[in-house]
Structure 1
């Protein structure tokens, strides 16, 4: 006799679920890492490029542009020769700091847990 599926205990996700939008944005290449480095304060493009050793200049440029368009980053052109650009977090992206901290804590526990269990 086949098992009957249990009914959902939560209402279905709304068609325009805001959680999905945030998850899609955070899942973008290098987004979380960029937010991580900018938590300490504004960084210039070259600094971020060195922080993220494996990212290409093109990918970093595109990701910073997308994050700026979504209101997660502020971009300021510094008066220097040659011109330099500095990126910083917006108040909205500062709200994600608690999420990043929680993710870091869970990640550390997951790592400890995987080291304790023998591989199958």
Structure 2
């Protein structure tokens, strides 16, 4: 069993790895605009083969960013916004840490400037 902090680290790594590819980011943009689409529809909008689109969608699905729902013979993919939750929390925490550090640097710089005057 994976400990909860380790699971979050894995989720963040999976999401960031999936988002590292520009084609996958474009797929997410298209799904956001279309709501849901098949791999064939998505391939028609990108200069990438349907087979490549299916592989990219599998990576996005494994990262929890999209979900595929079978409708008859087709699989319609849509966004799964909750897949970004762990990454959003991690990035917010990281940003808060940097804000605290920058505020401390600012205080030191202002104190040094005040001491010089």
TM-score by length of 2: 0.55
Looking at secondary structure, tell me which structure has more helix per residue. 2
Q: Where do 5+ consecutive residues of structure 1 fail to align?
A: 1-15, 96-120
Moved over 4 A (4+): 16-21
Bigger radius of gyration among the two: 2
Please report how far the alpha carbon of residue 66 of structure 1 lies from its aligned counterpart in structure 2 after TM superposition. Answer: 1.0
Deviations 1:36-87 (A, max 9, x none): 00002011221101111x11222111111111111111101102xxx11100
Alignment of 1:92-107 (within 5 A): 92-93=82-83
Higher relative contact order (CA 8 A, sep 6+): 2
Residue 87 of structure 1 pairs with residue 77 of structure 2: yes
TM-score by length of 1: 0.53
The 5 A counterparts of 1:34-73 are: 34-40=27-33, 41-52=35-46, 54-73=47-66
RMSD over aligned CA atoms reads 2.4
